[in-house]
Amino acid sequence: MNKQAKEMLLFLPSVEFVDDGVTHGILSHFEPGIRVLKKGFQLDPRFKPLECDILFEKDVPVRMRDGITIYTDILRPVTNEKVPGLIAWSPYGKSSGNAPRYTNMFKMIGIADNKLSGLQKFEGPDPAWWCKEGYAVCHPDPRGIVHSEGDIVMLGSQEAEDCYDYIEWLAQQDWCNGKTALTGTSYLAMTQWAIAAERPPHLTCINPNEGLQDAYRDWSNRGGIPDPGFMALLSNVNHVHAGEPVKREDIAREAVEYPFANVPLWEDKVTHPEKIECPALVVGSYTNTLHSNGTFRAWRALGSKEKWLRIHDSQEWPDYYDENSQQERLKFFDHYLKGIDNGWEKTPIVQYTLQDLEGGDMTGLKADTFPPEGIRYYKLFLNGGTRTMAEQQTPVDIPSPFPAVHTPPLVPQVSFIYTVNERTEMIGYPKLKLWVETKDTDDMDIFVLVQKFDKNGNVLRQINIPNKSARVYDNGDYGASVTVYSGTNGIQRLSMRHLDEEKTTDIHPVYTFDRSEKLNPGEIVPVEVELSPIGLVLYPDEGLRLIVSTQNILGNMMPLVKPYVPQNQGVLIIHAGGPFDSYLQIPIKK
């Protein structure tokens, strides 16, 4: 980490580690040593028994380049053959896979305890599955976590440098064949972009599943809006340390204190997939409000000559542990980490999904690129009079004003609909362009959602997780956007609308987020809103409903996460027609 970024870090004291063998996992006690977990071993009766013997090396010290020592657990097959290492890099704790806070989350999603051994790190590979296939699973605690030394930092070059050192240490162990891979979902995917860009010599390949690419743009300040809720929760739960407290990065406060992206701290948390050279199996979805944009952006920029993308229609955790996903990952790892000639190179470069939100999703569709060949982008112009969208722009401006807060009978949103008369496939990157004006305020946070409705006018959405209980529906009515897919979406603060002219294309708006441009009274300005990627089919007489709101219509990301509440006031006016080309741009396969 460069000096300027390091000087900008804000800290809190670490959270006290509760050493009770429950709160942070059954095996969370500090117990250096080696033991063998025999075939049939169960960490607890509720977890899946082992299918082979596993050699468990616990609390092994690893020295970083600056002298800091971190600790790692390694679970590997009992064999004389050298094996590759799979690395799960995250701050969640080496024994976190069986901690109540995470087993309860998995149950909420619909992943039963007996699906896994409980030996996995949260969101990482299960040693019970991978050791029987001849792989070691490696669980490091990054600096500052539990017994590891140093201060806790998040999603920047310090983590990348540390994992570089860890990878090179692993490759020298007498059990390792000199080849390693990174794998996992969410945080375990986010860090992969940064680590692989450092090009550790013994990092053979990566497998990021649903991971953001830019901490500012995808997480802390999406759309230029500081949203500290999830960051604070993640830090307060996971940044625990045993013994005397260390410092933990207060990224939630940094989001507010440093509102612009062009400062060293946030620049240090931008990953550079274009620098990655090793093979990559990337997995993503259209439905993850935290990870979708970053995953697809990283895929587009990825420098690897050998890269694959699979787009699923589920939530990240059930997909990661699904047997078909495991077998796909195994074939990829066997090819690169063991040199097995298994035909992996014939795998389609892209396997994508088309959703219809009516039970007819099509998965595993093959292409050489994403979006696939034959995509054309169409502009659907907004009509403020009929509240419809059409391919022809109205000759005069028909404004659509609405209040920032609910003021009966007026509502804080405006919507426009578009109906198709033939089967229509939308695959790629939609965006929204608006001409806007504000009254009684000089700024506004706007929230955009594009819903699908069926031929009877019913708005459709889809539960992404195996659990279809009443609680899931209840939470979905008030948010839980990663569990319930309601449509492509985006958010944007109007004053942060400035586009990067060098990077912006007609398809992808790219914001500088380096200035605040408040609106003057009577001023009408253009704003482009990046929407999440889409793969959606409409049948005859079905259509789209575009909603532009001044309230957080998607709600929270997960039931435990505090939703962002905008402080909007005044009136927002959308101008459409005449000189104001407000439109929704959609990708259509022809």
What does the angle CA 510 – CA 514 – CA 517 come to, to the nearest 5 degrees? Answer: 95
CA 460 – CA 481 distance, rounded (Å): 14
229 residue type, one letter: G
Residue 383: name the closest of 397, 404, 372 by CA: 397
Sign of CA dihedral 537, 481, 530, 160: negative
Q: Centre a 10 Å sphere on the Cβ of residue 443 and count the other Cβ atoms it contains.
A: 17
Reported confidence tier of residue 562, pLDDT bands at 50, 70, 90: confident
Residues in contact with 457: Cβ distance below 8 Å, sequence separation at least 6, in sequence order = none
CA 194 – CA 273 distance, rounded (Å): 7
Token pair 């990559």 is found at 280
The pLDDT, as a whole number, for residue 100 is: 93
| Chain segment 481-539, per-residue pLDDT in tens | 989 999 999 999 999 999 999 999 999 999 999 999 999 999 999 999 999 999 999 99
Residue 543: name the closest of 390, 413, 432 by CA: 390
CA 321 – CA 112 distance, rounded (Å): 11
Has residue 442 got a pLDDT over 90?
yes
What does the angle CA 90 – CA 96 – CA 100 come to, to the nearest 5 degrees? Answer: 140
The pLDDT, as a whole number, for residue 559 is: 82
For residues 265 and 8, the answer to whether their CB atoms sit within 8 Å is yes
pTM for this one? Answer: 0.96
Has residue 78 got a pLDDT over 90?
yes
The pLDDT, as a whole number, for residue 399 is: 97
Instruction: Please state the rounded mean pLDDT for residues 304-308.
Output: 97
Q: Where are the domains of the chain?
A: 3-341, 375-589
CA 438 – CA 574 distance, rounded (Å): 9
Residues in contact with 45: Cβ distance below 8 Å, sequence separation at least 6, in sequence order = none
Fold of 3-341: Rossmann fold (3.40.50)
Class of domain 375-589: mainly beta
Cα-based torsion angle of the residue sequence 205, 209, 271, 509 in order, rounded to the nearest 10 degrees: 130
| Chain segment 82-96, per-residue pLDDT in tens | 999 999 999 999 999
Both tokens of 199, joined, read 């090009």
Separation of CA 350 from chain center: 19
Token pair 């006018």 is found at 457
CA 216 – CA 152 distance, rounded (Å): 18
Residue 509: name the closest of 301, 297, 302 by CA: 297
Has residue 137 got a pLDDT over 90?
yes
Residues in contact with 544: Cβ distance below 8 Å, sequence separation at least 6, in sequence order = 380, 389, 417, 418, 450, 451, 452, 453, 538, 584, 586
SS3 503: coil
Reported confidence tier of residue 187, pLDDT bands at 50, 70, 90: very high
472 secondary structure, DSSP code: H
Token pair 């149950």 is found at 107
| Chain segment 143-154, per-residue pLDDT in tens | 999 999 999 999
The pLDDT, as a whole number, for residue 55 is: 98
Reported confidence tier of residue 229, pLDDT bands at 50, 70, 90: confident
Reported confidence tier of residue 236, pLDDT bands at 50, 70, 90: confident
Reported confidence tier of residue 235, pLDDT bands at 50, 70, 90: confident
The pLDDT, as a whole number, for residue 374 is: 95
| Chain segment 318-362, per-residue pLDDT in tens | 999 999 999 999 999 999 999 999 999 999 999 999 999 999 999
Is residue 518 exposed (0-12), middle (13-18) or buried (19+ Cβ within 10 Å)?
Answer: exposed
Has residue 240 got a pLDDT over 90?
yes
Separation of CA 5 from chain center: 24
SS3 132: coil
Q: What is the mean pLDDT of the chain?
A: 96
Has residue 587 got a pLDDT over 90?
yes
Has residue 312 got a pLDDT over 90?
yes
The pLDDT, as a whole number, for residue 1 is: 87
Residue 136: name the closest of 57, 191, 44 by CA: 57
Has residue 577 got a pLDDT over 90?
yes
For residues 464 and 313, the answer to whether their CB atoms sit within 8 Å is yes
